[in-house]
Amino acid sequence: MLLRLGKLLNARVLVTGGGGLVGSRLAALLQRVGAAVTVLDRMDAYPEPAHELFGAARSGARLVVGDVCDRDTVAELVRGADFVVHAAAYADVAACTRRPDIAFRANVCGTQVLLEQIAAHPVRRLVLVSSAAVYGDGLPGVEGPQRFREDQCLFPLSVYANSKLWAEHQTRLMLGASSRTEYAVVRYFSVYGDPQIPKPGSHSWMVPWLTLQARLGRPMRLNGGGVQVRDLVHVDDVAEATALALVEEQMAEQTVNVGTGTPTSVREVADLVAAHFPGARRVTTPRPEGDPLGGYACVERSWELLRWRARTGVREGIGRYVSWLLATPRAVPRWLAEEDA
């Protein structure tokens, strides 16, 4: 994999949202293969110290604290880039439902500003980060967890999912055949792995949620009984897939799932976490609005086009996350520790 990323040696890569969980891991990987990375991020998605734990500032990347809606900043950064990864987003389903105005500004207007600047100042390729949320609950009338294929009908169930689907369409429409910039779309499934920390008021990211609840001696809350299914893909694997989407020739104008191809229920995740915390309890809580029943990735296309497969199994990934959390007491968010159990 590192050999293939050698094509990025000395390339200038702009990573929007590069101060977040995935973006910071990606920026560090790109720096390691010899790219010159610039990160554009508001750096305010989390209460402290999450952005600092993600370590974008330590990766060697140039950090520009700013907003993807700021046309002048984006214009200047795009002019200085050979490649762009657009990962900046108001990246939480519940937050987007509560504040559709912020979701619209960050995910729709921010994407539009970036696309306009890329159209005016072409780069070699834009990788747009999308989400498996665009599949919603999958095809109507099908029982049980579904395997989501990139070319199936899409039924976004949340403001967040709709904003991601809009970004996909707009990218295709603005950077289609007549553009000098290639594009590729990556649809992440449920990303997890250290140093992921939940956001206040969020119900996404079950690995950190359940692990933190167990770590704090609180019952693990299984929304809707934990029957929902997710495809848990480790952040290291996600960073690799995204970097490959920048360089694999066959990815031009293509969309691929970034998942493992294996379904895991929330209850199974709770069981894997509980194995590290003897006596951990579970309670059933209501299923939040917009929380999809879920599904898992069809991985044929990502293998064919990216020649990539996720390498980290969920048992190993959760074990690594638990070890990191136990070794990093400052990672327990103060707002969560101070909350009533």
**Residue 20 interacts with ligand NAD (CB under 6 A)?**
yes
Shortest distance in whole angstroms from residue 200 CB to ligand NAD: 13
Instruction: Decide whether 181 or 190 has the Cβ nearer to ligand NAD.
Output: 190
**Residue 68 interacts with ligand NAD (CB under 6 A)?**
yes
**Residue 19 interacts with ligand NAD (CB under 6 A)?**
yes
Instruction: Decide whether 5 or 103 has the Cβ nearer to ligand NAD.
Output: 103
CA distances 298 to 107, 134, 231, Å, are 25, 14, 10
CA distances 10 to 31, 37, 60, 195, 237, Å, are 9, 9, 14, 28, 23
Tell me the β-bridge partners of 187.
130, 257
Q: Which segment (2-10, 16-24, 247-255, 302-310) binds ligand NAD by CB under 6 A? A: 16-24
Tokens found for residue 287 = 């299923």
Shortest distance in whole angstroms from residue 341 CB to ligand NAD: 25
**Residue 22 interacts with ligand NAD (CB under 6 A)?**
yes
Shortest distance in whole angstroms from residue 303 CB to ligand NAD: 19
Let me know: does 331 contact 325? Beta carbons within 8 Å: yes
**Residue 191 interacts with ligand NAD (CB under 6 A)?**
yes
Q: Which of 57, 53, 21 is nearest to 39 (CA)?
A: 57
Q: What residues between 204 and 263 interact with ligand NAD by CB under 6 A?
A: none
**Residue 78 interacts with ligand NAD (CB under 6 A)?**
no
Q: Which segment (135-143, 184-192, 247-255, 294-302) binds ligand NAD by CB under 6 A? A: 184-192
Pairing assessment for the beta strands 264-265 and 229-230 based on DSSP bridges: antiparallel
**Residue 145 interacts with ligand NAD (CB under 6 A)?**
no
In this chain, which of 8, 11, 13, 42 binds ligand NAD, going by CB under 6 A?
A: 42
In this chain, which of 14, 23, 117, 305 binds ligand NAD, going by CB under 6 A?
A: 23
**Which 8-state DSSP code applies to residue 125?**
E
Q: Which of 175, 201, 195, 179 is nearest to 90 (CA)?
A: 201
Q: What residues between 115 and 144 interact with ligand NAD by CB under 6 A?
A: 129, 131
Rounded to 10°, the helix 110-120/71-79 angle is 40
CA distances 253 to 18, 177, 179, 286, Å, are 23, 9, 11, 40
Instruction: Decide whether 280 or 291 has the Cβ nearer to ligand NAD.
Output: 291
Instruction: Decide whether 113 or 247 has the Cβ nearer to ligand NAD.
Output: 113
Q: Which segment (73-81, 83-91, 293-301, 333-341) binds ligand NAD by CB under 6 A? A: 83-91
Q: Which segment (3-11, 186-194, 215-223, 309-317) binds ligand NAD by CB under 6 A? A: 186-194
Instruction: Decide whether 17 or 226 has the Cβ nearer to ligand NAD.
Output: 17
Query: Rounded to whole angstroms, how far apart are CA atoms 289 and 291?
Result: 6
**Residue 27 interacts with ligand NAD (CB under 6 A)?**
no
Tokens 């140039």 belong to: 62
**Omega before 208 within 30 of 0, i.e. cis:** no
Query: Rounded to whole angstroms, how far apart are CA atoms 286 and 52?
Result: 33
Shortest distance in whole angstroms from residue 44 CB to ligand NAD: 6
Query: Rounded to whole angstroms, how far apart are CA atoms 129 and 152?
Result: 18
Which residues 6+ apart lie within 8 Å of 256 measured at CB? 150, 184, 185, 186, 187, 241, 245, 301, 302, 305, 306
Query: Rounded to whole angstroms, how far apart are CA atoms 17 and 104?
Result: 16
**Residue 21 interacts with ligand NAD (CB under 6 A)?**
yes
Shortest distance in whole angstroms from residue 316 CB to ligand NAD: 18
Q: Which residues bind ligand NAD (CB under 6 A)?
A: 16-17, 19-23, 40-45, 67-69, 87-91, 106, 110, 129, 131, 188, 190-191
